[in-house]
């Protein structure tokens, strides 16, 4: 095995899979779907050799419920899929959130709705950040924008999932999954084992039986569970993460996540070469969402531009953050088409021109 | 069960196994669930495997099985009990894992999981309670409902031309190489109760030596759902259910396997 400190060239899906093994992955349950099947294939080849279990399930429904069982049995477990498959997992994720079972779910987002396309998209933002299934619950959502982050966020995803006993999701897209970049992998054993006294491992005489369930038939009890979950989501707000680039002197603030944030970075360079001061906020945690940071930096610019590979989803959260104090515009591409820096530049130029005129 | 001498000098001939909790069961009078719960827990106590057993409860009448069974348990989503059991068994291969499911859970919404779990030969026990009706939701048609049988969703009786035939899923899974032991029993008479207990014991012994999936169907009554007294329900079961779902072993391990 190569020295973990040594950078190597890897595909996003494979870097993620290798990082998962190094983070102590004990069980993977998944079903093939483009563009993420490399995760399953990599793990089938590697994980059993290194002490873990891999099972190709008969469906995404079965896969997420195997994850439920394996997580309940105390394992550090994950699944991965792409948009249509993630839709099938929503019931299971609702059950896991209610039963407070940690796991990592990777969504290599592709264009939808329906069977859609296999090209990159960000149309699953609502599904990922607003719960996705039935009932009041949230996933912890991390949005990588490089192969390096595909690897790093696996460790972070497991850490947060186990700390808060809640499913965590990595929301990436087909481009991040398929592209090759330099990556420094985390070392083996990067994440210590978590004590799980609640796991169903067999009831010894000295303790009561452990029960994992999401059924609380008495309304008072069910509300109690909901209040506990809400308290957890409140505490989660401390885990908010984001990155800023060139915001200090910006006239136009771009908000973008994942792959789109990288394209926006290039657009900012192009804009600054034309003497337009654009800056970027990149939410890294999509839940919890960096409302405060966006509110803060929006205050210092003329206008806010949200760029996404969808019809406008995160823009709703940005508008909540900005709360009407600045105009918020949106530019998106759909259907698996990746927006170009030039398209973003054009929007930035229009904004700058408009608000410079207004100011005069 | 061993007979113990009670404090007052009388012989204790019947007691609650330590593997059953003291919680009173919510099942209707005459229902088979209570008997099957008890048999399974007696076997676990007799094999002294309480600390090595993890169960999976379904959605349906036995959704609260974990309130009565004094072993570590998980409640699964409707139909997914064997997928959950698979996840548990793959993480803890040396634990005894069982799922306990009704006909709607196992043979309608969970058909894919049932077939594929058995096809993989997961080393688990699947206990299948077949009472030909959805009890928990108030007596709707189940996949195993008999032709002509009146339910709240087949008020004129089940018609094959509209709703197909009773699904003999036990016969289906018996075809799969992953199935080690497939049997159909009942608990309507003392003799049947003894036989069912024997099969549950055998199934867990086979799991110990990792023979594959063990599948124990218990043809059961549903006095409330069938709108009969418990006695009528048992008679109706013998006269109508047993001809369609004949009792006996469908597949047993070969001597070579043992």
Using an 8 Å Cβ cutoff, are A68 and B74 in contact?
Answer: yes
Q: How far apart are CA B139 and CA B153, in angstroms?
A: 8
CB proximity list for A227: less than 8 A, separation 6 or greater: none
Q: Which pLDDT tens digit goes with each residue over B146-160?
A: 999 999 999 999 999
pLDDT value at residue B6: 62
Is any Cβ of chain B less than 8 angstroms from the Cβ of A70? yes
Q: How far is A281 from chain B (nearest CA, A)?
A: 40
Is any Cβ of chain B less than 8 angstroms from the Cβ of A207? no
- Quick check: B80 and A68 CB within 8 A? yes
- Quick check: A72 and B88 CB within 8 A? yes
Is any Cβ of chain A less than 8 angstroms from the Cβ of B75? yes
Is any Cβ of chain A less than 8 angstroms from the Cβ of B137? no
pLDDT value at residue A357: 74
Q: How far is B253 from chain A (nearest CA, A)?
A: 26
For A76, nearest residue in chain B (alpha carbons): B91
Q: Given a cut of 70, is residue B220 above it in pLDDT? A: yes
Q: How far is A196 from chain B (nearest CA, A)?
A: 14
Q: How far apart are CA B213 and CA B117, in angstroms?
A: 8
- Residue B5: which pLDDT band, with cuts at 50, 70 and 90? low
Quote the tokens at residue A17.
């899979």
Q: Which pLDDT tens digit goes with each residue over B155-174?
A: 999 999 999 999 999 999 99
Q: Which of B54, B76, B91 sits opposite A26 (nearest CB)?
A: B91
Q: Which of B52, B92, B113 sits opposite A73 (nearest CB)?
A: B92
Q: Which of B53, B63, B85 sits opposite A202 (nearest CB)?
A: B53
Q: Which of B71, B80, B88 sits opposite A73 (nearest CB)?
A: B88
Is any Cβ of chain A less than 8 angstroms from the Cβ of B54? yes
Is any Cβ of chain A less than 8 angstroms from the Cβ of B112? yes
pLDDT value at residue A359: 60
- Quick check: B84 and A66 CB within 8 A? yes
pLDDT value at residue A2: 52
Is any Cβ of chain B less than 8 angstroms from the Cβ of A13? no
- Quick check: A62 and B57 CB within 8 A? no
Phi-psi region of A114 (alpha: psi -120 to 50; beta: other; left: phi over 0): left
Using an 8 Å Cβ cutoff, are B57 and B85 in contact?
Answer: no
- Quick check: A203 and B72 CB within 8 A? yes
Q: Given a cut of 70, is residue B7 above it in pLDDT? A: no
From chain B, the residues in CB contact with A200 under 8 A are 54, 72-74, 88
Q: How far is A67 from chain B (nearest CA, A)?
A: 6
Is any Cβ of chain A less than 8 angstroms from the Cβ of B136? no
Using an 8 Å Cβ cutoff, are B132 and B142 in contact?
Answer: yes
Q: How far apart are CA B76 and CA B58, in angstroms?
A: 5
Q: Which of A58, A205, A210 sits opposite B112 (nearest CB)?
A: A58
- Candidates A28, A199, A202, A215: best to mutate against B (most CBs of B within 10 A) is A202
Quote the tokens at residue A14.
């494979």
Is any Cβ of chain A less than 8 angstroms from the Cβ of B92? yes
Using an 8 Å Cβ cutoff, are B163 and B141 in contact?
Answer: yes
For A197, nearest residue in chain B (alpha carbons): B72
Is any Cβ of chain B less than 8 angstroms from the Cβ of A201? yes
Q: How far apart are CA B224 and CA B113, in angstroms?
A: 29
Q: Which pLDDT tens digit goes with each residue over A143-156?
A: 999 999 999 999 99
**Chain A residues 148-167 within an 8 A CB cutoff of chain B:** none
- Quick check: B86 and A205 CB within 8 A? no
Is any Cβ of chain B less than 8 angstroms from the Cβ of A46? no
> How far apart, in Å, are the Cα atoms of A33 and each of A51, A115, A167, A191?
25, 11, 21, 28
Q: Given a cut of 60, is residue B2 above it in pLDDT? A: no
Q: Given a cut of 60, is residue B131 above it in pLDDT? A: yes
- Quick check: A72 and B84 CB within 8 A? yes
Overall average pLDDT of the B109-127 stretch: 98
- Quick check: A53 and B72 CB within 8 A? no
Instruction: From first to last of the 360 residues of chain A, give the pLDDT tens digit.
Output: 555 578 999 999 999 999 999 999 999 999 999 999 999 999 999 999 999 999 999 999 999 999 999 999 999 999 999 999 999 999 999 999 999 999 999 999 999 999 999 999 999 999 999 999 999 999 999 999 999 999 999 999 999 999 999 999 999 999 999 999 999 999 999 999 999 999 999 999 999 999 999 999 999 999 999 999 999 999 999 999 999 999 999 999 999 999 999 999 999 999 999 999 999 999 999 999 999 999 999 999 999 999 999 999 999 999 999 999 999 999 999 999 999 999 999 999 999 998 887 764
pLDDT value at residue A4: 53
- Quick check: A69 and B88 CB within 8 A? yes
pLDDT value at residue A360: 46
Is any Cβ of chain B less than 8 angstroms from the Cβ of A213? yes
Half-sphere exposure of A35 (CA within 13 A, CB side): 22
Q: Given a cut of 70, is residue B65 above it in pLDDT? A: yes
Q: Which of B51, B53, B87 sits opposite A69 (nearest CB)?
A: B87
- Residue B9: which pLDDT band, with cuts at 50, 70 and 90? confident
Q: What's the predicted TM-score (pTM) here?
A: 0.96
- Quick check: A68 and B70 CB within 8 A? no
Question: Which residue in the block uniquely carries the two structure tokens 């939808």?
Answer: A112
What is the DSSP track for B113-148? HHHHHHHTT-S-EEEEEE-SEETTTTSEE-TTPPTT
DSSP character for A182? E
Q: How far is A214 from chain B (nearest CA, A)?
A: 7
Q: Which of B53, B66, B74 sits opposite A69 (nearest CB)?
A: B74
pLDDT value at residue B1: 46
Q: How many helices (H) and strands (E) does chain B have?
A: 11, 11
Question: Which one is predicted more confidently, A298 or B10?
Answer: A298
Q: Given a cut of 90, is residue B13 above it in pLDDT? A: no
Q: Which of B56, B72, B112 sits opposite A202 (nearest CB)?
A: B72
């Amino acid at each position: 095995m190569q020295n973990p400190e040594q950078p190597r060239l890897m595909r996003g899906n494979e870097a993620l899979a290798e990082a998962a093994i190094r983070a102590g992955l004990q069980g993977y349950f998944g079903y093939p779907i483009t563009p993420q099947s490399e995760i399953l294939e990599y793990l089938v080849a590697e994980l059993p050799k290194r002490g873990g279990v891999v099972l190709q399930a008969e469906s995404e429904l079965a896969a997420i419920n195997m994850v439920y069982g394996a997580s309940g049995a105390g394992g550090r477990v994950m699944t991965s899929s792409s948009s249509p498959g993630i839709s099938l997992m929503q019931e299971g994720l609702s059950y896991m959130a209610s039963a407070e079972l940690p796991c990592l779910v990777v969504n290599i987002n592709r264009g939808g709705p329906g069977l859609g396309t296999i090209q990159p998209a960000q149309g699953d933002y609502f599904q990922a950040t607003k719960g996705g299934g039935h009932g009041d619950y949230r996933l912890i959502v991390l949005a990588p924008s490089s192969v390096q982050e595909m690897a790093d966020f696996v460790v972070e995803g497991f850490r947060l999932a186990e700390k808060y006993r809640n499913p965590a999701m990595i929301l990436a897209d087909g481009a991040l999954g398929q592209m090759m970049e330099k990556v420094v992998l985390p070392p083996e054993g990067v994440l210590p084992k978590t004590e799980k006294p609640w796991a169903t491992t067999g009831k010894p005489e000295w303790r009561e039986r452990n029960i994992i369930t999401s059924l609380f038939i008495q309304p008072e009890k069910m509300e109690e569970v909901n209040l506990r979950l809400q308290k957890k989501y409140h505490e989660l707000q401390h885990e908010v993460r984001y990155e800023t680039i060139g915001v200090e002197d910006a006239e136009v603030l771009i908000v973008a996540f994942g792959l789109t944030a990288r394209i926006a970075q290039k657009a900012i360079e192009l804009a600054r070469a034309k003497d337009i001061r654009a800056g970027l906020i990149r939410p890294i945690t999509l839940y919890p969402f960096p409302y405060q940071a966006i509110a803060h930096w929006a205050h210092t610019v003329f206008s806010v531009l949200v760029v996404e590979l969808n019809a406008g989803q995160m823009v709703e959260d940005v508008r909540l953050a900005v709360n009407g104090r600045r105009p918020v515009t949106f530019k998106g591409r759909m259907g698996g088409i990746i927006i170009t820096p030039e398209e973003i530049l054009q929007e930035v130029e229009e904004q700058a021109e408009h608000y410079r005129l207004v100011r005069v | 069960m061993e007979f113990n001498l009670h404090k007052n000098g009388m012989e204790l001939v019947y007691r609650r196994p330590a593997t059953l909790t003291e919680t009173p069961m919510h099942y209707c009078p005459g229902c088979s669930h209570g008997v099957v719960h008890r048999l399974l827990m007696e076997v676990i106590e007799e094999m002294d495997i309480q600390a090595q057993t993890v169960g999976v409860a379904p959605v349906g009448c036995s959704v609260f099985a974990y309130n009565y069974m004094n072993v570590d348990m998980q409640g699964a989503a409707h139909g997914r009990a064997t997928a959950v059991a698979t996840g548990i068994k793959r993480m803890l291969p040396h634990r005894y894992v069982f799922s306990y499911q009704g006909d709607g859970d196992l043979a309608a919404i969970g058909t894919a999981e049932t077939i594929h779990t058995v096809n993989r030969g997961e080393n688990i026990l699947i206990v299948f309670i077949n009472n030909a009706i959805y009890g928990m939701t108030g007596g709707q048609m189940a996949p195993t409902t008999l032709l002509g049988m009146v339910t709240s969703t087949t008020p004129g009786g089940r018609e094959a031309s509209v709703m197909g035939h009773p699904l003999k899923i036990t016969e289906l899974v018996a075809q799969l190489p992953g199935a080690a032991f497939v049997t159909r029993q009942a608990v309507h008479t003392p003799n049947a109760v003894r036989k069912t207990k024997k099969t549950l014991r055998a199934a867990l012994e086979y799991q110990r030596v990792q023979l594959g999936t063990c599948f124990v169907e218990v043809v059961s009554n549903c006095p409330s759902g069938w709108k009969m007294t418990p006695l009528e329900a048992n008679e109706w079961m013998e006269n109508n259910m047993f001809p369609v779902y004949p009792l006996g072993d469908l597949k047993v391990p070969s001597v070579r396997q043992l």
